[in-house]
Amino acid sequence: MQIRTVATTPFTDQKPGTSGLRKRVPVFQQQHYLENFVQSIFDTIGTPPGSTLVLGGDGRYYNREAIQVILKMAAANGYARVLVGRGGILSTPAASCLIREYRTHGGIILSASHNPGGPEGDFGIKYNGGNGGPATETVTEAIFAASRKIAEFHIADTADIVLDRDGDHEIGDMTVSVIDPVAAYAGLMESLFDFAAIRSLLKGGFRIRFDAMHAVTGPYAQEILVNRLGALPDSVMNAVPLPDFGKGHPDPNLTYAHELVEIMYRADAPDFGAASDGDGDRNMILGKRFFVTPSDSLALLAANAYLVPGYRRGLAGIARSMPTSAAADRVARELGIPCFETPTGWKFFGNLMDAGKVTLCGEESFGTGSDHIREKDGLWAVLFWLNILAARRQPVETILMEHWAHYGRNVYSRHDYEDIPADAANSVMKLLHDRFAELQGAQFGNLQVKRCDDFSYTDPVDGSVSTGQGVRIMFTDGSRIVFRLSGTGTGGATLRIYLESFEPDVSRHHLDAQLLLAELIGIASQISELRERTGREQPTVIT
Ligand code: VG1
Ligand code: CO
């Protein structure tokens, strides 16, 4: 085998966003585009002798091609071993699990998560460190800096590796181990949850439906829910990962997971429904004709963690991203544990978990997880819910209503305006900044503005500071509106508006969130001049 050093010139746009570098497939297909970024990762993290790397992706278009390139580059950059999921498949949580189990020098995950796939769709790549979590901002900034001055990359000249059979192959001095993508992860799940109780729940006629959305979780759900827990075979739908996700949008929300939502709102709906996203790190939870917001789900898992074997010993703390509702804060207060508020993106939870400060973490964007790994974890959340349901034997809706009756309800909604011109989106954000002084103390109907700011965060573990993480308009009664631009899109801009108020009155808990938030929704539109500046009358997605 020959190692080649190839001269290259930098691309200027290889700056990772909320979760890795995401671009359209044709951008990644440009000559040296992928190689430059991968070499920038290797140059940043170094390769101590004997290093192992975990490698896999969500199965989207270009996954296999990218894996072959990365294997050859890993060999040329001095890796001793690469663990790659069979078929090039690894969900994000499974990759995190393997990094930790084999104590590797991190891993490379190929995914653009919920973004659509296919030849004209999106592709993505992210590096996770030795703790199994997304690279911190310090590391992603260093990778970006390396990509701006790259002059060459190293690659082995060798034939492609067969990815569809387990086994070892050699590229020069490096071993490529093709492994079962599911086994280690499924074993970890079995160690955390009461599988016997869930099995007996399912045996007793409790019906579930899990939508893998033609993305990576299909094989995981099949093995865990059907093979190990005995769910009926039709419990898992869209179970085969497809390169274009069946032309769908693997984003588990009420809009894009409509096939599941329709099933769950039928008269003969199953008792429990769930969906996951492209790379398997998100979850949407539904009861019979009932939707659980991710913010409530985090709070509810925390409050019921004592029912789950892996968490019975208690929680060290909870962390939630800033736009996530404060429902979890109420549970933390009652448990007497700390609750941390971080910027959007899982990379901010890693330090807190490594330092033993938190056990559970969550984001309003359908992401929930714990310190069992260092990523959010879709199927883990589903199993956590099933464990609670097996212990409590009540419908999902009843469990939520009882939770609200006890803690009060943090009424919550997120409105996404997708694919608006970047100029319009930036002008909305600028306008809001310009209005901070004028908004201070302003009265809108019954609501008065207490304070506004652009959220910034100082990591309590390493002291690093992240600024510009979202505009917050906070009202005296505890309600708030948050405006943020997405950092995961690849075309135009996506403006997210997060709305939250608190409803202590039990007689109003069953009411629709949009109705309860109507006043805040009106204020958000008024102060941002949204219609005037974007021409949009309605959000693309309401959660
Ligand atoms: C979105 C979500 C964020 C999540 C991120 C990655 O980011 O809002 O909470 O961590 O996606 O999730 P943004 O910048 O578009 O709002 V995933 O499942 O794409 O890895
Ligand atoms: Co994801």
Tell me the best of 379, 488, 540 to mutate to test the pocket of ligand 1, counting ligand atoms within 8 Å of each CB and taking the most.
Answer: 488
Tell me the best of 344, 348, 366, 373 to mutate to test the pocket of ligand 1, counting ligand atoms within 8 Å of each CB and taking the most.
Answer: 344
Q: Answer yes or no: is the C-beta of 365 below 6 A from any ligand 1 atom.
A: yes
Q: For 351-363, what is the mean pLDDT?
A: 96
The answer, yes or no, to whether residue 13 has pLDDT greater than 80, is yes
**Residue identifier of the C-alpha nearest atom 11 of ligand 1:** 488
**Residue identifier of the C-alpha nearest atom 3 of ligand 1:** 345
**Residue identifier of the C-alpha nearest atom 13 of ligand 1:** 486
Query: Token digits for 510?
Result: 């069953």
The answer, yes or no, to whether residue 488 has pLDDT greater than 90, is no
**Residue identifier of the C-alpha nearest atom 8 of ligand 1:** 365
- The lowest-confidence range among 246-255, 368-377, 485-494, 533-542 is 485-494
Q: For 272-301, what is the mean pLDDT?
A: 97
In the chain, what are the domains?
2-181 (3.40.120.10), 185-407 (3.40.120.10), 409-542 (3.30.310.50)
Taking CA atoms, 509 is separated from 127, 331, 512, 515, 522, in Å, by 42, 18, 8, 11, 21
Residue entry with tokens 């034997």:
393
Q: For 175-186, what is the mean pLDDT?
A: 97
Residues found in the chain: 543
Residue whose C-alpha is closest to residue 527's, from 430, 385, 396: 430
The answer, yes or no, to whether residue 490 has pLDDT greater than 80, is no
What is the Å distance from ligand 2's center to 40 Cα?
23
- CA 315 – CA 365 distance, rounded (Å): 22
What is the Å distance from ligand 2's center to 277 Cα?
6
Alpha helices in 477-529 (DSSP H): 513-516, 518-528
The predicted model scores a pTM of: 0.91
Residue entry with tokens 């398997």:
280
- CA 496 – CA 475 distance, rounded (Å): 19
- The lowest-confidence range among 116-130, 191-205, 523-537 is 523-537
The answer, yes or no, to whether residue 142 has pLDDT greater than 90, is yes
Query: According to the model, what pLDDT value does residue 284 have?
Result: 96
Give the ligand 1 atom nearest the CA of 282.
Answer: 18
Q: Say if residue 159 is exposed, middle or buried (CB neighbours under 10 Å; 0-12, 13-18, 19+).
A: exposed
Q: Answer yes or no: is the C-beta of 277 below 6 A from any ligand 1 atom.
A: yes
Active site residues: 113
Question: Would you give the DSSP letter of residue 500?
Answer: E
- CA 111 – CA 279 distance, rounded (Å): 6
Residue whose C-alpha is closest to residue 418's, from 238, 296, 540: 540
| pLDDT confidence bin for 489, thresholds 50/70/90 | confident
Helix count and strand count (H, E) for the chain: 19, 27
